[in-house]
Amino acid sequence: MKGIDPREESYIVDSCGWIDYLSDSHLAQKYSRFIENATPETAFTPTIVIYEVFKKVLIQHGEEEAGRTVAHIKAISTTIDLTGPIAVSAASISHQERIPMADAIILASARYYDLKLITSDTDLEGQDGVIFIS
């Protein structure tokens, strides 16, 4: 798989990546090198990713497990808040590219901070700055 060295470049793991990793899906191994090598200096997590992962784990495993999962994400990455400039950029991306809101916010966050976006979400495949996992 082509991509980046998670120890040398900064990146965002998309919500789907976290969910695939946590559920040990067929893509979990491909995401593992980014998640298991994550540090707050190289890995960044938009707040919308925290929302989506917390919600999924909450539904499947309950609030305690969801809380532990988010605490882990926050410990190994730097949180990116949704700011005005990112929101405006996301709205433009969503409109121009016909990308759903959450995906557009994540992509706009990556572009704003010049980060690679690691994802298997087909809505983001082919976008500049995206490393697509298939």
Find out if CATH 3.40.50.1010 is the number for domain 11-132: yes
DSSP state letters, 32-88: HHHHTT--TTTEEEEHHHHHHHHHHHHHHH-HHHHHHHHHHHHHHSEEE---HHHHH
| Beta-bridge partner residues of 43 | 11
Give counts: helices (H), strands (E), the chain.
Answer: 6, 5
Mean pLDDT, residues 43-49 taken together: 98
Asked if 134 and 29 touch (Cβ cutoff 8 Å), the reply is: no
Domain ranges of the chain: 11-132
pLDDT of 9 reads 87
Chain-wide mean pLDDT for the chain? 94
For the entire predicted model, the pTM comes to: 0.92
Task: In whole angstroms, give the CA distance from residue 22 to residue 40.
Answer: 19
pLDDT in tens, 105-117: 999 999 999 999 9
- The three-point CA angle 110-20-10 to 5° equals 25
Task: In whole angstroms, give the CA distance from residue 75 to residue 129.
Answer: 25
pLDDT of 1 reads 40
pLDDT in tens, 55-105: 999 999 999 999 999 999 999 999 999 999 999 999 999 999 999 999 999
In the chain, pLDDT over 90 holds for what percent of residues? 93
E strand residue ranges, 60-124 = 78-80, 116-119
Residue with the bigger pLDDT between 102 and 3: it is 102
Is residue 5 pLDDT above 80, yes or no?
no
Task: In whole angstroms, give the CA distance from residue 133 to residue 91.
Answer: 25
Is residue 45 pLDDT above 80, yes or no?
yes
DSSP strand pairing (116-119 vs 130-132): parallel
